[in-house]
Amino acid sequence: MNEAAPRTNRKSPAGGETRLTMQDIARLANVSTPTVSRVLNDSPLVTGETRERVLEVARRHGYAVNRNAQKLRQARTNTIAVMLDFGSHRHGAIGDPFVFELLAGVSEALSIRNQELLLSPPGMEDARAFSDFFQARGADGFIVLGQGTRHAMLRAVSRTNVPLVVWGAVSPDAGYCAIGSDNVAGGRLAGEHFLSRGRQRWLFIGDTRHEELRLRYEGLCLAAKEQADVSIDLLAIASMAFTATAETVTDYLRDAPPPDAVFAFSDTAAMAAIGAFKARGLTAPREYSLVGYNNIPPAAHFSPALTTIEQKTDVAGALLVEKLMQLIDGGRSRSVMLPTRIVVRET
C-alpha cells in the first residue's frame, strides 16, 4: 500500500502522475526506509540532522503521510469513541448545553494528546457491540457522557476489559471508572436552600431511574429528613428534552396544588419548569423557590436568573481522558467524585 498522496512530476508508464513512496524518499535522502518511517512517526531514535534531511526531501516532493495506512501498522488507532446518551432525549435530539460543555472539554483534552475523537458510533447498545468494535480496532477505548439508564450495560462492558470511563454517578461497586459530581451533596444543598426560605411543599423533577438523579433526590430527602412539615413530591420525566419537561410540568400543575419549591434535574429543565409555572400565573421567587443543576452559562442570564448547583466541569474533560489513557496503557483508574456548590441567584 502506498504511504502517501504526493504532488510530484514522477510519471507512470502510462504517462500520468504516480505516488511517491517511502522507498523513494529513502533513496532521495540517502537513508534506509525504516529510518524514513521513524522520522515520520517522530521516533527519538533518529538524529536531528537526519530528521531534517528526510523532512526536507518529503516537503520538497509533496509527500503526505497516509494516516489511515499508518494506523493499520500501529498497535493503536489513536482514536477514542465518545458516546452520548441519546436515548434519554426525545427522538435522540440532545439540546442541553451541559452535554456539549463536557464534550468540548473531552475534545480539547484529546487534541492535546493527539488523539482523534469518534462521536457516538451507531449500534452500541450492549456489551457485545462495545467489545466487537474494540476488537475490530474501531477505537482504543470509550468515554461515555451520561449513564442514563444504562448502568447495567456499562457494568457488563467493564467486565469485557474494554477500556471505559463514564461521566455519571460515582459508586464504589459500579465496576467501572466514573467521574462525576457529589450528587447527594447537590441535592442536600438544594433542600437547605428551600429550608432557609421557609418552603414546605417541595417538588423534584427528574427520572430517578438515572443513578445521578436518584442520588440528587436522595440528597434532597436527607435535607428534609428532620422536618416534619416538609413534603416532597416526585415528578418523573420520560425524556430529558426541554419540550417534554415543559409538557409534563404543565400537566402536573393542572392536576395538583402548586409546590412552593422546585428542584429540577438540570438548568434546562428548570427553565422549562419556569415557563410552565408562568403560564399558570406563578413566578419565582415570589410564589416558589427553584434550584436547577449544572450552572450552564445561560443560567446567570435567564429571567429570573437561576439558583443552581454547580459541577466542576472545567476539569471533567481532562480527568475523563486522563483516566481512560491510564486504562489503555494497562494501568488501573480510580473513580473521582468532584465537589458541588450552590450558586444563589434570583430564584
Question: Mind listing the pLDDT tens digit for each residue in 132-142?
Answer: 889 888 899 99
Model confidence over 13-22: pLDDT tens digits? 444 445 677 7
* pLDDT, mean of residues 282-296: 96
Cβ atoms within 10 Å, residue 47: 10
Q: What is the pLDDT of residue 341?
A: 96
Euclidean distance between CA atoms 340 and 157, whole angstroms: 29
* pLDDT, mean of residues 167-182: 90
Choose the weakest-confidence range: 8-12, 187-191, 195-199. 8-12
Euclidean distance between CA atoms 102 and 81, whole angstroms: 14
For residue 28, pLDDT over 80 is answered with yes
* pLDDT, mean of residues 65-88: 71
Would you place residue 12 in the very low, low, confident or very high pLDDT band (cuts 50, 70, 90)?
very low
CA 50, distance to chain mean position in Å, is: 42
For residue 269, pLDDT over 80 is answered with yes
Strands, E assignment, the chain: 79-84, 116-119, 141-145, 164-167, 177-181, 201-205, 231-235, 261-264, 289-294, 307-311, 336-338, 340-343
44, exposed or middle or buried, with CB in 10 Å at 0-12, 13-18, 19+?
exposed
The answer to whether 163 touches 320, Cβ cutoff 8 Å, is: no
Q: What is the pLDDT of residue 22?
A: 77
Q: What is the pLDDT of residue 34?
A: 72
Euclidean distance between CA atoms 164 and 141, whole angstroms: 6
Label the pairing between strands 307-311 and 340-343: antiparallel
Choose the weakest-confidence range: 36-45, 116-125, 142-151. 36-45
The answer to whether 253 touches 259, Cβ cutoff 8 Å, is: no
* pLDDT, mean of residues 288-305: 96
Q: What is the pLDDT of residue 202?
A: 98
Q: What is the pLDDT of residue 6?
A: 37
* pLDDT, mean of residues 114-137: 86
Q: What is the pLDDT of residue 87?
A: 64
**72 vs 164, more confident:** 164
Q: What is the pLDDT of residue 69?
A: 52
Mean residue pLDDT of the chain comes to: 86
Euclidean distance between CA atoms 230 and 232, whole angstroms: 7
For residue 92, pLDDT over 50 is answered with no
Q: What is the pLDDT of residue 270?
A: 97
**Torsion angle of the four alpha carbons 233, 235, 240, 245, in this order, in degrees rounded to the nearest 10:** -110
For residue 3, pLDDT over 90 is answered with no
* pLDDT, mean of residues 173-199: 95
Q: Which helix (H) or strand (E) holds 206?
A: none
Choose the weakest-confidence range: 98-107, 196-205, 270-279. 98-107
Largest CA distance in the chain: 91
Would you place residue 95 in the very low, low, confident or very high pLDDT band (cuts 50, 70, 90)?
low
Model confidence over 315-344: pLDDT tens digits? 899 999 999 999 998 888 899 999 999 999
Classify residue 62 as left (phi > 0), alpha (psi -120 to 50) or beta: left
| % residues pLDDT > 90 (the chain) | 55
In the chain the domains, ranked by start, together with CATH numbers, are 22-73 (1.10.260.40), 79-181+314-338 (3.40.50.2300), 183-311 (3.40.50.2300)
* pLDDT, mean of residues 64-82: 70
